Amino acid sequence: MFEAEEINAEHKDLIHDVAYDFYGQRMATCSSDQYVKVWDQNHEGRWILTSSWKAHSGSVWKVTWAHPEFGQVLATCSFDRTAAVWEEIVGETPGPGERGSRHWVRRTNLVDSRTSVTDVKFGPKTQGLQLATCSIDGIIRIYEAPDVMNLSQWTLQHEVQCKLSCSCLSWNPSLSKSLPQMLAVGSDDSNPANGGKVFIFEYSENIRRWTKIETINTITDAVHDISFSPNLGRSFHLLAVATKDVRIISLTPIHDQASIQSGLTKLSVQTAAQFEDHASTVWRVCWNITGTILASSGDDGCVRMFKMNYINTWKPIAVLKGDGSNLSNENQKSMASSTGAPVSQTARYYKLGTISSSREVPWH
């Protein structure tokens, strides 16, 4: 969701992804016009286009920021079968009160995939500088930069095979080095007969490889986005899934003798919540920084927010239309009656600006 003033410089085609940096003061967008654009927020709260470059020779599907302790670093993936890592270079300041020139340099081009690379994500900073990609060929690739001061050198550490084409992935953002690394992967295979479309992988230090520890068989429709919730002290993990509806999956580790002997985590999987409020395809899910509020966007042109209350029940709390305005009371009442869950009347969101485009294309 954007908190922006009017931006007059736009992409020329469908925008596929938008990502804020760690501090929420910089924003990157990518689109079918093969360009990546970076926007900075000034002291007045306006978003200013500071960089724009042709990043790939095909549609750019995803863009993501590395943690700022590694510098100003972006990763992108594309239909052209590659993923790329970009670093911002700032020139010397030409004079007092003047900003130095900035430009983005491609540090590496990852060309191992033979099909479209559909998602790219940096790993948790506690594990160093790692990057995961997934592709239509059904392979997850894990790369690592052994020297964080030299981003031109990346090593392919692991290739993990899925049975189905991969559409999205998410690292479990654990802050503890003692917990095993975990990845969730979604598939956009549209055939329900092919079984579950969400897979959980874990890295085992004992055998030094990634192993699939769970398939969520309750989700058989195409998955478009997936996101682990930040975990601030919970004994279980929460996973949001964007498919034909919004799903919130609870993953609780089971510490039994079998899991201790195997060295792999055994999970108890439960559907914590399921919302059909969009009544259409859901394209994106995103958590707030504390993992207490989930936002989703769908083909109904709305952003919907959900929150867990004190009795661990998830409820819708707010709805924003595509133009940034709140739904009318009539529409909220209609939605509440259709879903059986009241929509909070205390939450208020205000449109601070828009990103205009000469072509009226939907945001996903």
* String of DSSP letters for 233-275: S-SSEEEEEESSSEEEEEEEEE--HHHHHHTS-EEEEEEEEEE
pLDDT of residue 97: 46
What residues contact 310, with CB distance under 8 A and at least 6 apart?
Answer: none
Q: Under a CB-based contact definition with an 8 Å cutoff, are residues 170 and 241 in contact?
A: no
pTM score of the predicted model: 0.84
Between these two residues, 342 and 313, which has the higher pLDDT value?
313
Q: Residue 326 domain-assigned?
A: no
Hey, what are 217's tokens? 């068989």
Taking all residues of the chain, what is their mean pLDDT, rounded to a whole number?
85
Considering the domain boundaries, does residue 85 fall inside one? yes
Q: What is the mean pLDDT of residues 3-25?
A: 72
Please report which confidence band the pLDDT of residue 92 belongs to, taking 50, 70 and 90 as the band edges: low
Check which CATH number belongs to the domain holding 114 and give it. 2.130.10.10
Task: List strands edge to edge, sheet with 237-242.
Answer: 225-228, 237-242, 246-254, 266-275
Residue at 3 is within a domain: no
Question: Per the domain annotation, does 105 fall within a domain?
Answer: yes
What are 22-73's pLDDT values in tens digits? 998 999 999 999 999 999 998 888 999 999 999 999 999 999 999 999 999 9
Taking alpha carbons only, the member of 207, 155, 215 closest to residue 185 is 215
Three-class secondary structure of residue 46 per DSSP: coil
Separation CA 346–CA 259 (nearest Å): 45
Q: Is residue 234 part of a domain?
A: no
From the DSSP assignment, how many helices (H) and strands (E) are in the chain?
Answer: 2, 24
Query: Do residues 75 and 61 touch, judged by C-beta distance below 8 A?
Result: no
- So what's the pLDDT on residue 177? 66
Residue type, 8: N
Tally of CA atoms within 13 A in the half-sphere of 103 that contains its CB:
7
How far does CA 170 lie from the centroid of its chain?
7
The separation between CA 241 and the C-alpha centre of its own chain, rounded to angstroms, equals 11
Rounded Cα distance, 299 and 363, in Å: 9
**104-108 average pLDDT score:** 97
Q: Domain residues for 57?
A: 10-91+99-161
List of residues 6+ apart from 91 with CB closer than 8 A: 100, 101, 102, 103
Cβ atoms of 237 and 229 closer than 8 Å: yes
Residue with tokens 């004190």: 310
Position 176 in a domain: no
User: Which range scores top for mean pLDDT: 161-175, 239-253, 322-336?
Assistant: 239-253
3-state secondary structure of 162: coil
Do 16 and 32 touch, CB atoms closer than 8 A? yes
pLDDT at 224: 97
* Per-residue pLDDT, 231: 86
Render pLDDT for 141-153 as a digit per residue (tens, 0 to 9): 999 999 999 999 9
Structural domain count of the chain: 1
Which token pair is 354? 């828009």
Half-sphere exposure (Cβ direction) of 15: Cα atoms closer than 13 Å? 21
Given a cut of 80, is residue 1 above it in pLDDT? no
Residue 117 forms part of a structural domain: yes
223 within a domain of the structure (yes/no): no
